[in-house]
């Protein structure tokens, strides 16, 4: 569709005119006539909702909201075209078959072996070995080798040595969805462990010998403690209500030596609504400080984040300080349980704060343990009540921790943002389906590519320059405060306002420091080489001059001191007097608004930052706008090359 | 950019030829200027009843008046007190914190101050017009706006030396009544009439700039905290009294003869490096901050200074310093 306008949310004045394309996998907006051929690509999988708004004199507005929080406002001149686009997008954004998803057509031009290697990058058996199991207390059980005991669990689970197959099977029958207690994290320093399961089908008075034996086995696997914590991450009321449905929670009287604890994290429906409310605040036009703060509090979002974090902290403390094992569950053991176990693991073990370790953590606690990616993130069209930002909350917990402990993580914010992006993008096969069983049935590893390999390849973009493996912050357990909370939790505008460039500091400290670090390293290496050469050349004087000029050229190439001044910015709308000022002709020296792209500033894995243009077009009033939102999304480059994309010029 | 106090128009719409001429000399034939009045249109009008007022259009035809009300005086002090109370409340839970923060209105004041300064800066930079800033007395919100606008516009104000010069010019010599304004701070129950944290509001706005433009200010947060401390209680004479006259003649002691200057101490090579921003790199451009609520953050380094440990953040800064030094 031609002559479509792409509006900028922060200022309704700067609208880009261009052509809209719909392909089998993307919506693409190509801006007319810009030298840089500015394109905005949106994957259909990212589309969360499409809203057709009332036709105005300028055309028919269409609002596309994405799961990665990008909001695209288009204005299509003809109502008929707008309707066609709307209908098409509705269909495209709601695939019914897995084969419709992008990952099955995405072609990064790797050979079969490279694809396989990519999938092997994260190996859970290796991970459990690293933890220290199997050992005297823990063994691998293959009781679920054909998914016969629990179809949402992996084929290999780790259980206490004294848990026989009979006990496991018996316990599984007493657990919701058959999700029996299994090992999530083992602390070899003190034998304490974190195990996870679903709720017991205890109702008001039902008992199961095998389930009680299972918990005993877990307790006995930790000789250092004579009791076991059982943590139910639900609010007490919800858990009690479940009893009426024949489910519920562990009765301390029936299970010997357990200490039971409710933590009180709300359910997926509450979380879905919370996010919805928060996004509404983000969509407010020119909100006051009051609107924003009230809206944010009203959504309850940060309160929920804190609840998840507090649960993780409680469990980490139990393991690290008390040396007591913990069994965690919620209702089905695949949402809150996953969040809480992974937060606790992250706090306990510095390995999970490395890039590789983090990938392993997600693979372990989310992918292998059957978190329902398809249902929660809508790979396929499904029940809207199953949709919930569960992993998003976990990812935010990690970010909040990064803000409190800036030196503790090997990776940076961009890593988290890209992972979140790809959970929804379906460009890679890691987060498809609802269980390991389904993924194997679909032969995901043979037909798609692994995100981990892709991120690993680009890991230079994801490093935290302040991380040092020998830094005190990176050692041992992280101990965040639980209270007072007023300074602990911030609004993550890098994620929820990701595409609104006007909001963020224009100058990335992370990128700058990484560049400094790299340059220092290069210079040091060079210095070493030169030192050697100098000693060798002490005999002949002729080459000294050549050496000097070489060094000068190198520092000019890197040009660190000048690159950041080019990340300029434009004033946003400070004035409410719309008609007060005369128009300003665009030709008047826009030095401070021109965005000069240098090679240093362009990150291959995050083109959306570089596609941003600060060019000012003629302004009618004093308010100047911030750069338009929406640029290329990570890894879109490969998408563009895909020769399987079918162009449907509507 | 000019600053003044309000014209004494009064209820009878008095005119003053000299004043009109003075402003007239600023503008060329056909040029226009802007007057940024830090009072609401209503408040400015009401000021006439007590002898003050605004510049009538007919007498100052080349000047366009813009009203941008900024809080000052008692309400600003209350805002400050409420914020500090909220920050100190360790029992507060996540359910209530944001609304408590909001009810102090402090961040709204920061937003308003930055917006107004940006407006003044835009008039000069984008419209290439002269600007006159004034409120009522010209000693509070006026200085807030002119000082911030200069930071936004002028890179030389962003150096350590330039910033000190800015403070000397726009706050100390301009006659901000430090003695009255920075008497007891937030914990006092005295509720003095003249007390108001304008200077702190200014420092907070500067901090917001440093947060949004981490490479553009030569000085660090530590300098801002030190200035905050010294405005209220100091071993140095820099922030004493209310204006130059008092410092020279009015005081019991002559300030310049009997006290030491804070700047002299700060600028010693040994001290100076503590106040430098390791990320600083001269930025010749105008820095336009975002005033969206998401961009304006609570200055934790000041408001939680004694409540939370800054250990991890200090370690991060030490890392940054090391990385830069190694290079």
Q: Do A465 and B323 touch (CB under 8 A)?
A: yes
pLDDT of residue A629: 30
CA–CA min distance B209, chain A (Å): 10
Q: Do A487 and B298 touch (CB under 8 A)?
A: yes
Q: Residue A619: which pLDDT band, with cuts at 50, 70 and 90?
A: very low
Chain B residues within 8 A of A584 when measuring between CB atoms: 126-127
The CATH architecture annotation of domain A4-94 reads Roll (2.30)
- How many Å from the N-terminal Cα to the C-terminal Cα in chain B? 40
Task: Identify the active-site residue in A60, A82, A150, A330.
Answer: A330
**Closest residue of B to A572, CA-based?**
B290
pLDDT of residue A542: 58
- CATH 2.30.29.30 domain position(s) in chain A: 4-94
pLDDT for B161 beyond 70: yes
pLDDT of residue A545: 56
**Close Cβ partners of B94 (under 8 Å, ≥ 6 residues apart):** A302, A303, A306, A485, A489
Listed by start position, the domains of chain B span 2-310
The burial class, CB within 10 Å (0-12 / 13-18 / 19+), for A467 is buried
pLDDT of residue A628: 32
Q: Which of A54-58, A443-447, B63-67 shows the lowest mean pLDDT across its residues? A: A54-58
pLDDT for A610 beyond 90: no
Binding residues of A, as ranges, are 267-268, 330-336
* Tens digits of residue pLDDT in B57-83: 999 999 999 999 999 999 999 999 999
* Tens digits of residue pLDDT in A156-178: 999 999 999 999 999 999 999 99
pLDDT for A550 beyond 70: no
Chain A residues within 8 A of B288 when measuring between CB atoms: 569-572, 624
pLDDT of residue A543: 56
Rounded CA gap, B121 and B153, in Å? 6
Q: Do A503 and B312 touch (CB under 8 A)?
A: no
Q: Which of A393-407, A450-464, B187-201 shows the lowest mean pLDDT across its residues? A: B187-201
pLDDT of residue B118: 96
Of residues A191 and A610, more confidently modeled? A191
Average pLDDT, integer, range A626-630: 31
Two tokens at A264? Answer: 């009180």
Of residues A620 and B322, more confidently modeled? B322
Of residues A285 and A214, more confidently modeled? A214
* Tens digits of residue pLDDT in A63-96: 999 999 999 999 999 999 999 999 999 999 999 9
- Whose tokens are 């008390």? That residue is A322
Binding residues of A for substrate, as ranges, are 267-268, 330-336
Q: Do A297 and B292 touch (CB under 8 A)?
A: no
A330 is catalytic: yes
pLDDT of residue A561: 40
Q: Which of A356-370, A554-568, B128-142 shows the lowest mean pLDDT across its residues? A: A554-568
List all residues of chain A from 538 to 597 with a beta carbon under 8 Å from chain B: 560-561, 564-565, 568-572, 574-575, 577, 580-582, 584, 591-592
* Tens digits of residue pLDDT in A449-502: 999 999 999 999 999 999 988 888 778 899 988 877 777 899 999 999 998 877
Start-end of H helices in A184-235? 209-220
Q: Which of A166-170, A629-633, B155-159 shows the lowest mean pLDDT across its residues? A: A629-633
Burial readout A34-54 (b: 16 or more C-beta within 10 A, e: otherwise): eeeebbbbbbbbbbbebebee
Q: Residue A237: which pLDDT band, with cuts at 50, 70 and 90?
A: very high
pLDDT for A575 beyond 50: yes
Question: What is the strand order of the sheet A228-232 is part of?
Answer: A182-186, A193-197, A326-329, A228-232, A258-262
pLDDT for A232 beyond 50: yes
Q: Residue A625: which pLDDT band, with cuts at 50, 70 and 90?
A: very low
- Whose tokens are 């694809």? That residue is A115
Q: Do B319 and A466 touch (CB under 8 A)?
A: yes
Of residues A483 and A28, more confidently modeled? A28
Average pLDDT, integer, range A277-287: 93
**Closest residue of B to A562, CA-based?**
B281
pLDDT of residue A155: 97
Q: What percent of chain B has pLDDT over 70?
A: 99
**Closest residue of B to A595, CA-based?**
B285
* Tens digits of residue pLDDT in B241-260: 999 999 988 766 688 888 99
Average pLDDT, integer, range B95-113: 95
Q: A10 — contact with chain B (CB < 8 Å)?
A: yes
- Which residue in A528, A530, A526, A527 sits closest to A538, CA to CA? A530
pLDDT for A573 beyond 70: no
CA–CA min distance A356, chain B (Å): 22
pLDDT of residue A161: 95
- Concatenated DSSP letters for B257-278? HHS--HHHHHTSHHHHGGGB-T
């Amino acid at each position: 569709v031609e002559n479509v306008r792409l509006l900028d949310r922060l200022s309704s004045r700067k609208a880009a005119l261009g052509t809209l394309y719909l392909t089998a996998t993307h919506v693409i907006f190509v801006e007319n006539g810009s030298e840089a051929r500015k394109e905005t690509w949106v994957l259909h999988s990212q589309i969360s909702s499409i809203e057709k708004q009332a036709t105005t004199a300028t055309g028919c507005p269409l609002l596309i909201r994405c799961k990665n929080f990008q909001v695209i406002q288009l204005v299509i001149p003809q109502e008929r075209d707008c309707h066609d686009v709307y209908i098409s997008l509705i269909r495209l954004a709601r695939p019914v078959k897995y084969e419709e998803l992008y990952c099955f057509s995405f072609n990064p031009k790797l050979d079969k072996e490279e694809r396989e290697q990519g999938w092997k990058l994260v190996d859970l058996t290796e991970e459990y070995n690293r933890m220290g199991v199997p050992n005297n207390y823990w063994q691998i059980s293959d009781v679920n080798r054909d998914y016969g005991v629990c179809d949402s669990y992996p084929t290999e689970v780790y259980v206490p040595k004294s848990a026989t197959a009979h006990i496991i099977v018996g316990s599984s029958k007493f657990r919701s969805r058959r999700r029996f207690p299994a090992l999530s994290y083992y602390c070899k320093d003190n034998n304490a462990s974190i195990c996870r399961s679903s709720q017991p089908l205890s109702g008001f008075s039902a008992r199961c010998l095998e389930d009680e034996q299972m918990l005993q086995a877990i307790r006995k696997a930790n000789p250092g403690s004579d009791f076991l914590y059982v943590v139910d991450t639900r609010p007490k009321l919800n858990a009690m209500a479940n009893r009426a449905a024949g489910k519920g929670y562990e009765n301390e009287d029936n299970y010997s030596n357990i200490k039971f604890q409710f933590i009180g994290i709300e359910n997926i429906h509450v979380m879905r609504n919370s996010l919805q409310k928060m996004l509404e605040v983000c969509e407010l036009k020119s909100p006051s400080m009051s609107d924003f703060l009230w809206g944010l509090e009203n959504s309850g979002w940060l309160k929920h984040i804190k609840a998840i974090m507090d649960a993780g902290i409680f469990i980490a403390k139990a393991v690290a300080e008390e040396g007591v094992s913990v069994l965690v569950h919620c209702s089905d053991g695949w949402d809150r349980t996953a969040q809480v176990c992974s937060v606790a693991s992250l706090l306990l073990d510095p390995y999970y704060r490395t890039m590789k370790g983090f990938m392993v953590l997600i693979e372990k606690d989310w992918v292998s343990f059957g978190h329902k990616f398809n249902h929660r993130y809508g790979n396929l069209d499904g029940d809207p009540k199953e949709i919930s930002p569960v992993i998003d909350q976990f990812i935010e917990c990690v970010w909040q921790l990064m803000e409190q402990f800036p030196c503790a993580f090997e990776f940076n914010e961009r890593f988290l943002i890209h992972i979140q992006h790809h959970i929804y993008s379906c460009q890679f096969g890691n987060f498809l389906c609802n269980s390991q069983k389904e993924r194997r049935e679909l032969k995901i590893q043979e037909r798609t590519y692994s995100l981990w390999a892709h991120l690993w390849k680009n890991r230079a973009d994801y490093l935290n320059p302040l991380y040092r493996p020998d830094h005190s912050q990176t050692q041992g357990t992280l101990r965040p405060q639980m209270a007072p909370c007023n300074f602990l939790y911030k609004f993550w505008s890098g994620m929820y306002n990701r595409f609104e460039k006007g909001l963020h500091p224009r100058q990335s400290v992370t990128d700058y420091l990484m560049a400094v670090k790299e340059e220092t390293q290069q210079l040091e290496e060079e210095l070493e080489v030169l030192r050697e050469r100098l000693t060798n050349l002490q005999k002949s004087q002729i080459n000294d001059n050549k050496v000097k000029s070489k060094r000068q050229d190198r520092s000019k190439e890197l040009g660190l001191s000048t690159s950041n001044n080019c990340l300029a910015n434009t004033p946003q709308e400070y004035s409410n007097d719309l008609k007060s000022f005369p128009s300003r002709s665009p030709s008047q020296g826009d030095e401070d608004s021109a965005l000069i792209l240098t090679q240093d500033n362009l990150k291959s894995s995050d083109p959306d930052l570089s596609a941003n243009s600060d060019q000012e077009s003629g302004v009618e009033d004093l308010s100047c706008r911030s750069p338009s939102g929406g640029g290329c999304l990570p890894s879109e480059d490969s998408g563009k090359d895909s020769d399987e994309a079918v162009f449907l010029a509507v | 950019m000019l600053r003044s106090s309000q014209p004494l128009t009064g209820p009878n719409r008095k005119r003053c030829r000299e004043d009109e001429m003075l402003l007239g000399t600023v503008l060329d034939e056909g040029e226009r200027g802007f007057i940024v009045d830090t009072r609401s249109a209503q408040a400015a009008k009401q000021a006439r009843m007590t002898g003050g007022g605004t510049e009538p259009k007919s007498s100052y035809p080349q000047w366009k008046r813009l009203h941008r009300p900024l809080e000052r005086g008692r309400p600003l002090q209350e805002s400050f007190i409420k914020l500090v109370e909220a920050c100190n409340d360790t029992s507060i839970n996540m359910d209530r914190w944001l609304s408590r923060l909001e009810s102090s209105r402090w961040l709204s004041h920061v937003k308003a101050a930055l917006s107004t300064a940006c407006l003044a800066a835009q008039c000069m930079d984008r419209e290439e017009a002269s600007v006159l800033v004034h409120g009522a007395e010209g000693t509070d919100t006026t200085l807030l706006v002119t000082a911030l606008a200069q930071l936004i516009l002028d890179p030389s104000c962003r150096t350590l030396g330039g910033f000190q010069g800015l403070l000397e010019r726009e706050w100390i010599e301009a006659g901000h009544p430090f003695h009255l304004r920075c008497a007891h701070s937030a914990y006092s129950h005295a509720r003095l009439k003249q007390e108001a944290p304008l200077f702190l509001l200014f420092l907070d706005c500067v901090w917001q700039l440093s947060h949004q433009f981490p490479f553009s200010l030569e000085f660090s947060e530590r300098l801002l905290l030190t200035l905050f401390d010294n405005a209220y209680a100091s071993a140095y004479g820099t922030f004493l009294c209310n204006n130059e006259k008092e410092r020279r003649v009015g005081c019991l002691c002559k300030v310049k003869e009997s006290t030491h200057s804070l700047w002299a101490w700060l600028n010693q090579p040994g001290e100076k490096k503590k106040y430098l921003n390791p990320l600083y790199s001269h930025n010749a451009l105008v820095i336009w901050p975002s005033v969206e609520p998401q961009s304006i953050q609570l200055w934790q380094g000041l408001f939680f200074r004694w409540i939370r440990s800054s250990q991890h953040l200090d370690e991060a800064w030490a890392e940054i310093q090391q990385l830069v030094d190694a290079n």
